[in-house]
Each structure stands twice: as C-alpha cells, then as structure tokens.
Amino acid sequence: MASNLEFVRFPAPDGVNGWWESLPPAPPAVAVTAEQHYDWVVVGGGITGLCAARRLAELAPDASIALVEADRIGRTTAGRNSGFFVDLPHDISSESYSRSVEADKADVRLQRHGIDYVRSVVKQKDIDCDWRDDGKFHASVNRKGHAALAHFAEGLARIDEDFEWLDAAAIASVTGTDFYEGALLRLGAARFSRRR
C-alpha cells in the first residue's frame, strides 16, 4: 500500500557539534529534488537509521532503499553522543525508571542485540574506529548527583544488572581530575571513535 507523506517542518540544527567541526570537510550532500519511488524509506540518519538501512539491504538485497536525513549524517544528535552505544535508558533520575522489570529486561536485550550487530559489522569490515567494550561511567559532582546515581543503582539491581561503585579517588584515576565525588561503572556499553 503506497501513501504520500508530507512534512511540514524539519529539525533545525543548532550548529553546535564539536565532533563534526573537528573532522575534515564532508563531501557535498545529495539533495532530493524530484519525485522518487523506493521499496523502503528509512527516515533519520542517526545510528539507528544507519543500522536499519544496512540491515534492510542485507535482508532484501534487490530492494531499493532510501535513507533520508534532514541535516547531515553524523552532525546532529547521534553525532553528539560521544561515540557510545548504550544498552540502558539514559534518564537515570526518572521516577518511572525500571518500574517494569520484564519490559526493562526486554529493552536491554534489544539494545544489546543492536550493539552486537554493529560490533559484528565493525569486525567483518575491519572498520578502523577504535571500538572498545569498556563500559560507561556515570559520575556525580554533588549530593543531588549521587542521589540520582543511587536511584539508578536501585533500578539496575531490580533488573539484575551488574555495576561497580567508584569513590572519588577511583574515578579521579580514570579521568585525571578530582572534580567528581564518585561514579558508577556499567560494563554493558560500547564506545567507538568517529572517523570520516
């Protein structure tokens, strides 16, 4: 069933992305200027959109697939994520965090499946991106931040996820600064460096 989509407004870039600005100039963007027809259209060129388009191409190699991005791939939100793939939600202080154990566990499984897929592509294609499965630190600088981390830890415990507490000295040995009062280390995240 075909349908026409009309977009009234596209996201407006704020122009603030140090990662993008530190890279060499990108090649000119390819703009769509006429009516086009595709079997599949993926809207959004973030990490999820790029992975979805690639997986579609693997599963349906004869299909025509368009990836549409309002800005430039790698410049907007996905390009400002510091190179992390995370397997857990980010809103660690939300009152609704980890209130449904089974739903949260299913979400973590889905996120890890995505990370596994990208890791396999990096290895298969020998992509030089400094991939590391070294986890993610959540650090606090004051009592309010520590309370948010404690709430996060309670949620992790409810869904049987491992984590490690670091005191001020331990996180200082990682970051090289005594700015943080403490941190929580989660080992389920992967990190990579951007290269164009």
Any residues with CB less than 8 A from the CB of 104 and at least 6 apart, and which? 89, 98, 155, 158, 159
Give the chain's mean pLDDT: 84
Whether 170 contacts 183, CB under 8 Å? yes
Instruction: Read off the tokens for 175.
Output: 């970051």
70 pLDDT more than 60: yes
Average pLDDT over residues 104-110: 87
How do strand 40-43 and strand 65-68 relate by DSSP bridges?
Answer: parallel
Helices within 18-100 (DSSP H only): 18-21, 47-59
Average pLDDT over residues 6-31: 76
How do strand 190-191 and strand 84-85 relate by DSSP bridges?
Answer: antiparallel
Instruction: Read off the tokens for 25.
Output: 């100039």
Model-level pTM greater than 0.85?
Answer: no
Question: Can you list the positions of beta strands (E) in 53-160?
Answer: 65-68, 84-85, 136-140
**Whole-number Å distance between alpha carbons of 42 and 61:** 15
Average pLDDT over residues 76-82: 72
**Whole-number Å distance between alpha carbons of 188 and 134:** 8
Instruction: Read off the tokens for 145.
Output: 């931040």
Name the residue ranges covered by the structural domains of the chain: 1-81, 83-196
Q: How many CB atoms lie within 10 A of CB 11?
A: 11
Q: How many CB atoms lie within 10 A of CB 73?
A: 18
Residue closest to 111 by CA, chosen among 127, 140, 89, 135: 89
Instruction: Identify the bridge partners of residue 85 per DSSP, sorted by sequence position.
Output: 190
Average pLDDT over residues 145-160: 89
pLDDT given for residue 4 in this prediction: 67
In the chain, the amino acid numbered 152 is: F
In the chain, the amino acid numbered 186 is: R
